Amino acid sequence: MPQYLRIAEKIYQNVKEKKGFTDDPMEDLNNLMIELRHEIKGTKLKLLYNYIDFAELLIKPLQESKIKLDLSIIPKSKNTQEFVLWLAGFIERITTGGQEKLPPIRAKVALPAYAYEEIYPSTGSPVNNGEEIIEYFKKKEN
């Protein structure tokens, strides 16, 4: 997510400086897409869709549209931090090739000590002492 936040902040600043934000969501979304295409050029990120009909997404219910994006929750552009967070999530949903998410922690949760059949003979502690979970949290997203 940090890479999407960096891109979103840069796009927000570029749109704000070049064209400014209007109260028309269609125009703002189109300007954001223009800047997004410019920002991801030459990176690993690629757009999932060549064309997004924002008018259709704003009018039709989410179940009827071909592209599953909910645009009803777009925050006001004057709320900078909230808008950048929304934009980062939007960029993450419409692009591919970014950093992979960490694997789900559910597969790494250790069983209670009584569930282990093997224990260290010297200490009496379980074989898996949570090292995988500790390593999971040490990984940092870039």
Q: What is the pTM of this model?
A: 0.65
> H/E element holding 136?
helix 131-138
Per-residue model confidence (pLDDT) at position 142: 40
| C-beta separation of 85 from 79 below 8 A | no
Distance CA 20, CA 75 (A): 15
| C-beta separation of 11 from 90 below 8 A | no
- Return the structure tokens found at 102: 């960490």
pLDDT digits (tens, 9 = 90+) for 17-40: 998 888 788 899 899 999 999 999
> Phi and psi (nearest 5°) for 35?
-65, -35
pLDDT digits (tens, 9 = 90+) for 42-72: 888 898 888 888 888 777 776 677 777 778 7
**Distant-in-sequence, close-in-space partners of 106: CB < 8 Å, separation ≥ 6:** none
